[in-house]
Amino acid sequence: MPPLLALAAALFCGLAGLACPAAAQGLPQAPITWLGGRGFLSGSVSAATASGGTDTSFNSGDYGQDTMRLVEVTLAPSIALHDAAFLSADLRAAGSVDHSDWYFRPARLVIGVRPFGGRAFSVSAGLLQTPFGQAGRGYGRENLLVGLPLIYQYRTALQPDGSRGPLVPGGEDPKPYPYSDYGGYAAPAVSDSYSYSYATPGLPLVDTRGWNAGVRFDAGGDRLQAAAALVRGSLSNPLNRDDAAGWQAAGRVAGQPVVGLVVGVSAARGRYGRIARSGAPLHETVLGADVEVSRGYWLVRGEVVHSRRDAAPTIVTSPLETLAVTGLDVEGRYRVAAGLYLAGRVGRLRLGGAGGTSLAWDTDVTRFEGGVGWSLTRPVLVKASYQYNRRPGGTAREQLHRVALQALVWF
What structural domains and CATH numbers belong to the chain?
Answer: 3-410 (2.40.160.10)
92 within 8 A of 74, measured Cβ to Cβ = yes
- pLDDT band at residue 164 under the 50/70/90 scheme: confident
Rounded (5°) CA angle 401-405-407: 155
140 within 8 A of 46, measured Cβ to Cβ = yes
Mean pLDDT of the chain, nearest integer: 79
247 within 8 A of 283, measured Cβ to Cβ = no
Q: Quote the pLDDT of residue 1.
A: 41
Of residues 151 and 355, which shows the higher confidence score?
151
Q: Is pLDDT of 17 > 50?
A: no
- % of the chain exceeding 90 in pLDDT: 44
- pLDDT band at residue 260 under the 50/70/90 scheme: very high
pTM of the model: 0.82
**What's the whole-number mean pLDDT along residues 189-197?**
32
332-360 pLDDT per residue, tens: 999 999 899 999 999 999 987 655 444 56
410 within 8 A of 377, measured Cβ to Cβ = no
Query: Cα Rg for the chain, rounded, in angstroms?
Result: 22
Residue 20: C-alpha distances to residues 334, 337, 397 (Å) = 28, 21, 45
- pLDDT band at residue 316 under the 50/70/90 scheme: low
Q: Quote the pLDDT of residue 118.
A: 66
30-52 pLDDT per residue, tens: 678 877 888 999 999 999 999 97
Q: Quote the pLDDT of residue 41.
A: 92
